[in-house]
Structures are given as structure tokens and as C-alpha cells.
Amino acid sequence: MENNIITSKDNPVIKLYQKLSSSKKERLEYGLFVLEGLRIVRDALSENSGISHIIVTSQAEEKFAGELLQADLRDAKKIVISNELGNRIASTDRTQGIFAICRIPVKAKPVFVENGKYIVLYGLQDPGNVGMIIRTADALGINGVFLCGSCDLYSPKVIRSTMGSVFRVKLYVENDTDRLFETFENAGVSTLASVIDRDAVPITDCGFSGANALFIGNEGSGLPPEISGRCSKRITIPMHGSVNSLNAAMAAGIMMWELGR
């Protein structure tokens, strides 16, 4: 068994994994991204999400052998690496020693449903917020999440923060603002701007009938006026006391709850 354990950082698969882990440019060039952790790798396998390689440390193979054997590896190639090499390529402090290389889905046209509820992440730059919003959208049954001018959907931090929801939620990246609004207009989807403004419609007074797409803006500056002005309606979360803003993921969660009620 020892002879089959990869120890060199120069192994082609390991070199590819590290490139994909550290560079958006490489992810786009290869059309691949990386996963780390038993749960998310298992989720990717169960959703048939195009895993090409599974990488496990010798320690992880012993510890999780049963769970990995129960999973359908499909066409994925499995390689075993040393524990030291696993620590070297890990992006978490306490790695489980399970990694994967996964194919980025081919860009598809948005799918709209009757009375569908959608979220648009416009200019969000915090990977943790983006991942958390995708996870919350999954939990609340949102029909699709659009990213426009936001951080890389397939960065390791975003993927990790989704906790596997990245494989269950319909996700679309459209960085052309005009095309995005045109897409919603052609589909008969009303656009809603989430803003901090006393003159906006309180979210508790919105009926959200029909199909709606809710725009969530940048963590620090919110939605640009030219974007909120293009939306069909401007809505806000009424707040008490001296609090005048919420974390983007928290605000999105509240609005998604109301949107889906």
C-alpha cells in the first residue's frame, strides 16, 4: 500500500488542485474547481456534479473508508496521498483529508417558474456572505440565485460556506447588468431593490405576488442608485433604535423568508 501513496507536491493532480484552489484565472481556464471535506464531496457525488478526481490522505482513507465505499464514485479517479501532503494542500486548519476536483457546470439559460422567487447578489464581495446566502436560499426554497459583479462563485471559501447547497440551488452568473434586467423583463419577473431608506416600502407591507427577483447589494455600499432606480420597487426592513443596517447575509435571509411566505 505504501508504494501507492503519493508524497510529491509535483504530482500532476496535486499541482492542478493547488492551481485551482488559489487562482480564479486557472479555474476559468480549466473549467474546474476544488472541494474539501467529506460532507461536500459526498453531496457532490450524490448530486452527480461532475467530480473528476477524489484525493484522500492515507489517514482519511482508513477513517472514512466505509462512507467512501458506499458512495457512487462514478467516473471519478481516486488517489491516496500522504498526510503531510494533505496538510500542505488543505485550506482549513483542521482538514479531514478529503479533497476533490469538480467540473464547473456549463452555463445554462435561466429557468423561470410560475410565481418563482429569485435572488440577485449584486456586487457582493465577501465569500462567506455569498456562500451563506446560497445556503439560506436552499433552505427557504428560493428558485434561483443570480450573481452580478460579485466575488467568484467557485472560490474555495464560497463553496465551503454553501455547505453543499451549491449543488442543489440553480445558480447563474450574469455580469452584464443590461442583459440581466432584460432577462427578468422578458420572463415577466418583477425586480425588487433591497435598500436602507425610510421612503422605501416596508417589507412587511409587500405581498410579493407573482414572480419576483430581489436584488441584494454590496456589504458596505448597498445597491448603486442607478440599479435600485431600475427596479420595479424599492423595499426595506424596518429597524428599531439606533440600528440602521444589517449584515448582507442576515438581511438577505430575512427578505428571502418574507419573499417565500
The confidence score (pLDDT) of residue 168 equals 94
Q: What's the rounded Cα separation, in Å, for the pair 122 and 177?
A: 9
What pTM did the predictor assign? 0.91
Give me the helix-helix angle, 248-260 and 127-139, nearest 10°.
20
The confidence score (pLDDT) of residue 208 equals 86
Q: What's the rounded Cα separation, in Å, for the pair 239 and 98?
A: 44
Q: What's the rounded Cα separation, in Å, for the pair 68 and 236?
A: 46
**Which residues have C-beta within 8 Å of that of residue 178, sequence separation ≥ 6?**
none
Per-residue pLDDT of the chain (261 residues; tens, 9 = 90+): 444 899 999 999 999 999 999 999 999 999 999 999 999 998 998 888 889 999 999 999 888 866 655 556 667 898 999 999 999 999 988 899 999 999 999 888 999 999 999 999 999 999 999 999 999 999 999 999 999 999 999 999 999 999 999 999 999 999 999 999 999 999 999 999 999 888 889 988 887 889 999 999 998 889 999 999 999 999 998 877 555 567 889 989 999 998 877
Contact status, residue 256 vs residue 119, Cβ threshold 8 Å: yes
Contact status, residue 259 vs residue 212, Cβ threshold 8 Å: yes
The confidence score (pLDDT) of residue 71 equals 59
Please choose, from the candidates 183, 182, 199, the residue with its C-alpha nearest in 3D space to the C-alpha of residue 233: 199
User: How many Cβ atoms are within 10 Å of 229's Cβ, its own excluded?
Assistant: 10
Count Cβ neighbours within 10 Å for each residue of 7-29 and write b for 16 or more, e otherwise: eeeeeebbebbebbbeeeeebee
* Three cell numbers written together for 3: 508504494
* Three cell numbers written together for 128: 462567506
The confidence score (pLDDT) of residue 197 equals 84
* Three cell numbers written together for 44: 457532490
Tell the residue number behind the cell numbers 438577505, with chain if given: 252
The confidence score (pLDDT) of residue 223 equals 94
* Three cell numbers written together for 25: 484565472
**Which residues have C-beta within 8 Å of that of residue 241, sequence separation ≥ 6?**
none
